[in-house]
Structure 1
């Protein structure tokens, strides 16, 4: 049995994650082929891309045949299944979103659908059974308008006026719509103050104004009812006016829903209000409609605050750029920029594209992307002609991101990503997708509602016939049933979790933390253990010269000059670190020139300096050199330094050992303080997983305050380490760079990638991505998650508690319709505004 691995993006170009259902379909299709024993997602990745691992019998099938079968199966799946992310306007509330979700799932060919109250729709469909145009028409019939749409390959695009067929549209990663779908002044990116579907003759706040007018008429009518000299019909007329203004939007929604065969709370509220009028309780009916209308208007307004925080991300990128071509500068739309183009960024203006600095020096405010509060200094790259679009490890001082703000100097930027692929575009798309991912609590409440709502309706129908059993008129039974109907409506429950998730994701994005949905938002708050990769996560990821130890009569400065002179000839990363840090320590002293460099692979180097032969290397270099081996005392010093986590170099001049140089991948400055803060907020175990030897791991762990350090681990052993941790701690988060650590992150409860800005792989693979390469962001993310979890719990207690109290209170007559609607609407607003507190969360 042999194995071969193939990158998933090669087989399924439209699939962004190995967790996509299309990957499962591909695996099932391939495992049915003769000769393929097993197909699965590989633990390790190739250049950051997830891979499929094929276990095959070489006697039955060849590698070429596997490649051919896999590519053909992938092409068939890509041709058959479509993925869509759509931004809609017209979604009124959480319950309406759920209705639309169910209607989309009813469309033949739609396999998966998720709709949020914020208007984001995620769809997976069978292209042989349906297409975007058909889905769009269905949405149009629901009085919804498509503002933006995309496939998995591109960012959100505004609908264009075009008559291209579906295949042409998909090849461009955007979909056209009818003219009426194109919005001129209003768009998702603009972040309207209030959803237009609630607008009317008085503008976007018509519903709120109508509710206030209703309340005023109700109040005046109620006050005049106590004045004996004023006829009763005056108060009645005012109540009827209150009915009109308070019930206008409720009736509109109810009629639209019923006309489409739906059955919603708006209709039930309308029935309750009409019932109150029939019973002569005009004041109570008017109060019900006034409060229900006011509650809806305020709910829309409050939820829009969270939507605007996310919509504001889209506004970060400027719409145009100053393109420099043939010595001339012209203003063009950012969509016209190509990789390799040079753009000019003027002082105090936004940067239009992801790129590298090729001319000029400035400081850049990266807060919109990474959350960093201090501007970052930028300098030009050394090789301006190089193609940096394929380079993964571009230095922070050379790289800039679309949407960040230039300081006081003009810079020229070489574009390395098209507008739709920029870090900002990907961030916006992933945040929008995050809204459609339901949290465990939301899935639980959805399940609860499926059983609760029919139960309430059965109870209400039963209470309607209470007059047959109890000695009371039908009017009393009807009134009680309507009161129970109002009391039991699960409006607060429906919005309690989505509002908190939306607010939490929006608040995190504002501080440079991408949380991909409700599940990681909730899970991060309950983790008890954190596993860290070492290199580049807890440490700087680059070696530093830590100690210079002279042996014999030589002075430290003279030893350092010899080391810098010889290492200056080498390209090895450790040699570069010695030269860089050594020159700083020598402060401009003259360095002699060395010649005739000879490298001994994996052991060290040899060179000539001022007539002497200089050797620099590890102990193994001198084992096979000649009989002049280092003394036991020197060996012991080297071993002591290595035991402290250092990488050592022993220097020899001719036959004499003259000194030891020690380097170390030093811990980040913020590591110790951050781990201390994590300990204070209740993280019990903090474990470092590293491929370095155990001595190095222990030294770093002791210095920064880790509880455990597990060294000498291969990538697959890190996965086993995470599984072992999960057995003991149940909830474990893995923190790494999202590339080499992807398998371990995938097996943890929550995978957290650091320095995700500029790393497509980290953005795609992690559950939570810290855009800045800063460890100190971690306590904020965990704190926000805990706050979100607490608010979700509070909202559940409030929403379920109110229903549990109100139902018996209305059944036994302790509360009338007026009291029920006040408490019902009050609890709905309470959970929404409670969730909005997350937008103001601070560490």
Structure 2
């Protein structure tokens, strides 16, 4: 297993040296992250700045992720390492991607390169040793066209051909003296050249084969057609094989070429031409199928309109979205796409948010209370006031104040993260890559042995040679190479369409084998805001009269619980006049006092009355308060002068969908569902009982949540942490899979989690787990098909039961079976 070591300059605010306790806390927080083997302070400094040394496994964690985790745990990271996400055109299949990846990883200064057959390349490098220009030059030398060097929506729209009217769609600015290889166009017929060459090859082969049965036509005519078939069928295979051999490597293309040449030497021109026809046709169809999944992801970028109607000095003018600045007011007409993230400042409408959050029902939008405020600094914007770029306005005109530039919009970052996900390999893919490294040399050794079989058994050299070539074809692991990446790509694409961001193959696979889910309580299982649940009148005074007094007094306070009493109380007392209270006095942590007319009103918990005077509540009243609290309520006892007139109870109520979602999760095989909360155990138990959790662990501090996750991992093996991604980040980093809810509205959640549910909807969770299980199942099927075919074909060709034609037919057939099996994920239903 490849291990890497990097040193990052560590800048902790207000920390003078590396012996500070904050540094120790940071190291402890990082130490348990999966993929990080060891974290310690390095012996040497970087210009006097302490350096943290990370020993890590790049297959499990990237430098970018290390930097994100370090930032979340309080450190700023020096710009010693760079991270680039580049989109290219010209990668023809998975094996070609792997060849480019190996070539990049050999370059000095590149720490880790990951290349996806979909055209995404993720590179992490040392800025002191290599720069972006050198990387791009290396990619061009591999015959690739650079489309986008920093993937975001704005550049996508300008470059990738989303706007078909743009004349300059690609970055084709090669350095002086460097020619444009034009591989992205594939050749004279553009992108379809390989497919057309393959069809011509098949036509020549078919005509040649047919004419060989006509006695009157000389044999050289068929031979000429077979040679033509060799040229068209072998053009791309030979080109790739030569490039690979020139770099000292052996790939499947080279083995196929050797087998085809071997067939020609033996005079089996028709079989050799058939091999090249099926191999090139298989490649072309594989390329087409992978493009289908890739287009599903690229469609995300097309969600944003290229222009916006900017309101300036009372007039509107059309401008490109890249010109929009924070604070600009844009006008969005009915039934058109919203071009930027912002808040509604005028108009009401319903907006279809499905493209971003996957929500099937349009969300009603209304203006914010304070349109002049700088909303770009606000973290907590209500869903009814917020607008996302790429979502679709309903029947009314809206005016929206821009809160994020195009490059920072939720959609832009979603596109970037989905594209990064394509470069992350899954555990199965890492396993198959390792298997191939042993398998391919073993096959070559077997082929060499079979070449000399004529020395041991009674047959001619040509028969031994033919058998060896047939084994070479049979053992080529094409289907194995593409079985996992095609499924991961399709799974990530389907999830993105359903409002779920899955950041690569590892979380996609891990999510499907989870046995336990740990949930944060506030805002995840509950609404995240207290609601008025009970109003109890203790005297002859009516409930509404008592509630009026409570609303009048609590209206003077800005405490969250007071606001909840006022909001829900007014809703309940609709149309009733509320009297005016005055002279508010707060008693910290216990309650408030105020005057209402000639009366003195007290509202608070039992502790408030313990120290107030000798007019204590009766045992019966105390019992009622404690009963309500045991059900998870926060209670307030109200006293008017000397009389206790009522109790009001509030509770952060469970989400409406929580109970049904947990029932579905249980149904699909999640054995344990645990709530981790800072609230007291009584509140935790009450919520757990109401919604059907298996466990509830209360009174936990953030660091104790991390310990709880570690404890769960020992008993349950695979555990996911579901939260909002802000205060749950440390627990998420220690779980098998971190799942953040409401990521569309939270930058931190979007960056933190392995899986981000874009909508603040708990019910998306069973869809994500179901999709993951389907993906895991398809990956398993693909592995069985690809390995099973190889296991059957190798002995069949050794024993002479199958010739080259049959071997290549079954071989290419299995490759297409696994690709199209993977594409079934794109049609996965919720």
Is the TM value for this pair above 0.5?
Answer: yes
- Counterparts of 2:455 and 2:330 in 1: how far apart (Å)? 81
Q: Which residue of 2 aligns with 1:675?
A: 662
In the alignment, is residue 381 of structure 1 matched against residue 368 of structure 2? Answer: yes
Report whether the alignment pairs 1:69 with 2:49.
yes
The DSSP-based 3-state class of the residue aligned with 2:743 is coil
2:325 aligned with 1:345? no
Write out aligned runs for 1:349-428 (5 A).
Answer: 349-428=336-415
Q: What is residue 529 of structure 1 aligned with on the other side?
A: 516
Residue 764 of structure 1: aligned partner = 751
TM superposition shift of 1:805: 1.3
Look up the match of 1:169: none
Is the Cα–Cα contact under 8 Å of residues 306 and 503 in structure 1 kept in the other structure? yes
Q: Distance in 2 between matches of 1:525 and 1:178?
A: 42
Provide closer, same or farther for how the CA distance between residues 811 and 210 of structure 1 changes in structure 2, counting only shifts above 3 A: same
Distance (Å, rounded) in 1 between the aligned partners of 2:685 and 2:7? 40
Q: Verify: 1:774 aligned to 2:774, yes or no.
A: no
Q: Please state whether the residue corresponding to 1:614 is helix, strand or coil.
A: strand
Distance 1:24 1:132, change over 3 A: closer
Which stretch has the larger CA shift, 452-461 or 697-706? 452-461
Residue 429 of structure 2 corresponds to which residue in structure 1?
442
Please show how residues 492-503 of structure 1 align to structure 2 within 5 Å.
492-503=479-490
Q: Offset at 1:79?
A: 4.8
2: distance between equivalents of 1:32 and 1:625? 48
2:121 equivalent in structure 1: 121
Summarize deviations over 1:66-88 as a string: whole Å, max 9, x none: 99835999999845422211111
Shift of 1:491: 0.8
Tell me, in whole angstroms, the C-alpha distance in 2 between the residues paired with 1:634 and 1:68. Answer: 65
Unpaired runs of at least 5, structure 2? 31-38, 54-66, 68-74, 160-169, 177-181
Deviation per CA, 1:698-751: give whole Å up to 9, x if none: 110000000000111111111111111111111110000001111111111111
Counterpart contact for 1:306–1:502, Cα < 8 Å: yes
Once the 2 structures are TM-superposed, how far is the Cα of residue 428 of structure 1 from its aligned partner?
0.9
Q: In the alignment, is residue 319 of structure 1 matched against residue 306 of structure 2?
A: yes
Residue from 319, 323, 326 that aligns with 1:336: 323
Q: Is the 8 A contact 2:310 2:317 kept in 1?
A: yes
Q: Contact 2:8/2:77 (CA < 8 Å) preserved in 1?
A: no
- The C-alpha deviation readout for 1:113-151, integer Å capped at 9, x for no partner, is 111111111112222222221221111111111111129
> In 1, distance between residues paired with 2:563 and 2:353?
29
With structure 2 as the length reference, what TM-score do the two structures score? Answer: 0.89
Partner of 2:179: none
Secondary structure at the aligned position of 2:675 is classed as strand
Instruction: Decide which moves more: 642-651 or 405-414.
Output: 405-414
**Quick one: which of 686, 702, 708 aligns to 1:721?**
708
Q: What residue number does 1:804 align with? A: 791
Q: 1:325 deviation in Å? A: 1.9
Listed as ranges, the matches of 1:320-719 within 5 Å are 320-719=307-706
Whole-angstrom CA distance in 2 between matches of 1:388 and 1:634? 46
SS in 2 for 1:353: coil
Question: Unaligned stretches of 5+ in structure 1?
Answer: 1-18, 46-53, 57-64, 162-175, 183-194
* Cα shift at 1:504: 0.8
Q: Does the 8 Å CA contact 2:522/2:677 hold for their aligned counterparts?
A: yes
Aligned position for 2:173: 179
For residues 496 and 571 of structure 1, the distance between their equivalents in structure 2, rounded to whole angstroms, comes to 58
SS of the equivalent of 1:357 reads strand
In the aligned structure 2, how far is the partner of 1:603 from the partner of 1:286? 88
Change (3 A) 1:76 1:568: closer
Q: In structure 2, what is the equivalent of residue 185 of structure 1?
A: none
Residues in 2 aligned to 1:397 and 1:297: alpha-carbon distance in whole angstroms: 48
Render the CA deviation track for 1:41-85: whole Å, top value 9, x for unaligned: 36789xxxxxxxx999xxxxxxxx999835999999845422211
> Mean alpha-carbon deviation: is it higher for 225-234 or for 766-775?
225-234
Q: Decide which moves more: 492-501 or 671-680.
A: 492-501
Within 2, Cα distance between the matches of 1:116 and 1:485?
26
Q: 1:612 Cα shift?
A: 1.8
Structure 1 counterpart of 2:146: 146
State the alpha-carbon separation in 1 of the partners of residues 643 and 48 from structure 2: 62
Q: Secondary structure at the match of 1:713?
A: coil
| Alpha-carbon shift at residue 40 of structure 1 (Å) | 5.4
Q: Is the 8 A contact 1:93 1:117 kept in 2?
A: yes
- Mapped contact 2:8–2:51 kept (Cα < 8 A): no
Provide, for residues 387-419 of structure 1, a one-character-per-residue CA deviation record: whole Å limited to 9, x for no partner. 111111111111111111111111111111111
SS of the residue aligned with 2:767? helix
Check if 1:793 corresponds to 2:787: no
Per-residue deviation at 1:365?
1.0
Q: CA deviation at 1:34?
A: 7.1
Q: Name the counterpart of 1:41.
A: 26
For this pair of structures, how many residues does the alignment match?
781
Query: Is the alpha carbon distance of 1:181 and 1:783 closer, same or farther for their aligned partners in structure 2, counting shifts above 3 Å?
Result: farther
Identify the residue that residue 87 of structure 2 maps to in structure 1: 87
Q: Distance in 1 between matches of 2:361 and 2:540?
A: 47
Moved more, 567-576 or 682-691: 567-576
Q: 1:67 to 1:515 in 2, by over 3 A?
A: farther
TM-superposition CA deviations, 1:750-769 (whole Å, max 9, x none): 11000001211111111111
Question: Is the alpha carbon distance of 1:23 and 1:596 closer, same or farther for their aligned partners in structure 2, counting shifts above 3 Å?
Answer: farther
Is the CA contact (8 Å cut-off) linking 1:520 and 1:768 kept in structure 2?
Answer: yes
Instruction: Determine the C-alpha separation between the residues in 2 that align with 1:446 and 1:198.
Output: 29
Paired with 2:210 and 2:94, the residues of 1 have a C-alpha distance of 36
Secondary structure of 2:744 counterpart: coil
- Does the aligned pair in 2 maintain the 1:145–1:181 contact within 8 Å? no
The answer to whether the 8 A contact 1:522-1:786 is kept is yes
Which moves more between the two structures, 281-290 or 717-726? 281-290
- CA gap of 1:363–1:23, structure 2 versus 1, over 3 A, is farther
**Aligned residue for 1:170?**
none
Change (3 A) 1:500 1:21: farther
The correspondence of residues 185-334 of structure 1 with structure 2, limited to 5 A, is 197=184, 199-228=186-215, 230-334=217-321
- Quick check: 1:734–1:750 contact (8 Å CA) kept in 2? yes
Distance 1:557 1:205 in 2: 75
* Equivalent position of 2:112 in the other structure: 112
In 1, Cα distance between the equivalents of 2:458 and 2:8?
Answer: 63
User: How many Å separate the matches in 1 of 2:639 and 2:28?
Assistant: 44
Contact 1:120/1:436 (8 A) holds in 2: yes
Structure 1: distance between partners of 2:269 and 2:813: 21
Q: 1:813 aligns with which of 785, 791, 800?
A: 800
Deviation at 1:437, TM superposition (A): 1.1
- Structure 1 distance, partners of 2:658, 2:478, is 45
Distance 1:76 1:519 in 2: 27
For the structure 1 residues 793 and 27, does the alpha-carbon distance in structure 2 shift closer, same or farther, using more than 3 Å as the test?
farther
Displacement, 1:207?
Answer: 2.1
What is the SS of the residue equivalent to 2:684? helix
Q: Return closer, same or farther for 1:66/1:661 CA change in 2, 3 Å cut-off.
A: farther
CA shift, 1:268, in A, is: 2.0
Contact 1:198/1:207 (8 A) holds in 2: no
1:747 is the counterpart of 2:741 = no
The 8 Å contact of residues 153 and 411 in structure 2, kept in 1 or not, is answered as: no
SS in 2 for 1:657: strand
Whether the 8 Å CA contact 2:525–2:658 is kept in 1: the answer is yes
Task: Normalising by structure 1, report the TM-score.
Answer: 0.88
Instruction: Pick which of 722-731 and 272-281 moved more.
Output: 272-281
8 A contact 2:602–2:638 mirrored in 1 = yes
Question: SS where residue 263 of structure 1 aligns?
Answer: coil
Per-residue deviation, residues 347-399 of structure 1 (Å, max 9, x unmatched): 11111111111111111111111111111111111111111111111111111
Would you say the 8 A contact 2:554–2:563 is kept in 1?
A: yes
